[in-house]
Chain A
Amino acid sequence: MFTLIIADKKLEKQIPNNDYKIINLLKELDMPVETVVTKKNNKIVIEETLIEDDDEIEIIQVIYGG
């Protein structure tokens, strides 16, 4: 399980496999990498970062599309 923080909401989510990265999560949410900054346990990280048990992952949308 990990915690996802997005748009002022906090959700508990399952980790589907042990190679689950932030970029996989972004794809599921249909959010292009170019439009967000991501944090893991309150530190800015790159999207290739692995999501592990008990992590807190925050997605901050910084660019809005058309």
Chain B
Amino acid sequence: MKKCTQCGSKDIIIERKHSGQRLCQKCFIKGINKKVLKDMRKNKLLNKGDKVMVALSGGKDSVMLLDILYTFYERNIIDLCAMTIDEGIADYRKDGVDIAKRHAERLGIEHKVVKFKDCFNFTLDDIMSIDSERGACTYCGVFRRWIINREARNMNATKIATGHNLNDETQAVLMNYLEGNIENLTRIGPKTEARNEKFTVKIKPLREIPEKEIALYVLSKELEVHLAECPYSSSSFRGEIKEFMNQLSNKHPTIMYSLLKGFDKMKPSIKKDFTNEFTKSKECVECGEPGSHGLCRACVFKKEIYNNIQK
């Protein structure tokens, strides 16, 4: 009979093949909490007095993130608020938004739901119903980032916390590397730099936690989460990378850890050579949000979509 390597309980819920560690529910939750707190300290993700805005989708990653950050809020180390984006995806998004609302209410924290429709006058469904060469995730990502930046200022947040996990980070590294987007690689990390006073620093406390362990955490703690698959996710390049990484991880269980570790070691050198100059004065001429060209990406996309809708 296999037993928990920490406490000897026979009710184990995870076996980490690479380390031989087996854990019961209690020891798993305790261990993962400790790991996240250690990573947060290592990367100096929080300062006392920060107001952290959690980008709360209602999915497992952001719900776990909120659960952990709430312990800092409880101990009066930080102030906490949450923001949920409703991209407008019929028969899918409402469940997640409702779950996010219930978590914020349960914890008694400030929460805001922002809709694509109210910001841009179109939903993600509208975008996908018109012909476009870009995938749903590209539009969705750019518009979401635009809203998150703006709302962080509206909520007076000093940090934005996102639920990116180990799988997300390794996929991002691999994708950008394979596509030759070296400048994008310089921006992957536990904490962004505020390149412009209008940008709020973004932190990723869960970036060293594998996605499956996040699912185990929320299910173990019986936290309500939205687990359904986004109807637009399958068609992306990221989907292909995801499948490839999953297959590889099956055979080589430490591959994601080593990939991220190696990348983090290389990053200072890449950054030194490939950071493009991002001067403080550059702001989008249309919306005022920071951007590297005259128009920010969100405004470029918006124009494209308006043109296509009119056709």
Residues of A at the B interface (CB closer than 8 Å) are 32-35, 37, 43-46, 48, 60-66
- Describe B's contact surface by its main secondary structure: helix
Could you say which of A34, A37, A48 contacts B219, with CB atoms under 8 Å apart?
A37
Residues of chain A contacted by B220 (CB below 8 angstroms): 44
Q: Do B12 and A46 touch across chains, with their CB atoms under 8 A apart?
A: yes
**What are some 24 contacts across the A-B interface (CB < 8 A)?**
A32-B246, A34-B250, A35-B212, A37-B216, A37-B219, A44-B216, A44-B219, A46-B13, A46-B14, A46-B15, A48-B2, A60-B215, A60-B219, A60-B227, A61-B227, A62-B211, A62-B219, A63-B215, A64-B234, A65-B243, A65-B246, A66-B241, A66-B243, A66-B244
Q: How far is the CB of A61 from chain B (nearest CB, A)?
A: 7
Instruction: Flag whether B198 is at the interface (Cβ < 8 A).
Output: no
CA distance A35 to B243 in the complex (A): 11
Instruction: Flag whether B60 is at the interface (Cβ < 8 A).
Output: yes
CA distance A63 to B228 in the complex (A): 9
Interface string of B203-238 (1 = CB under 8 A from A): 000000001100110011000000101000110001
Q: Do B212 and A37 touch across chains, with their CB atoms under 8 A apart?
A: yes
Q: How far is the CB of A48 from chain B (nearest CB, A)?
A: 7
Could you say which of A32, A48, A64 contacts B229, with CB atoms under 8 Å apart?
A64
B window 11-37: CB within 8 A of A: 11-15, 22, 25
Residues of chain B contacted by A63 (CB below 8 angstroms): 167, 211-212, 215, 246
CA distance A48 to B219 in the complex (A): 19
Could you say which of B14, B60, B247, B249 contacts A62, with CB atoms under 8 Å apart?
B60
Could you say which of A43, A46, A62, A66 contacts B234, with CB atoms under 8 Å apart?
A66
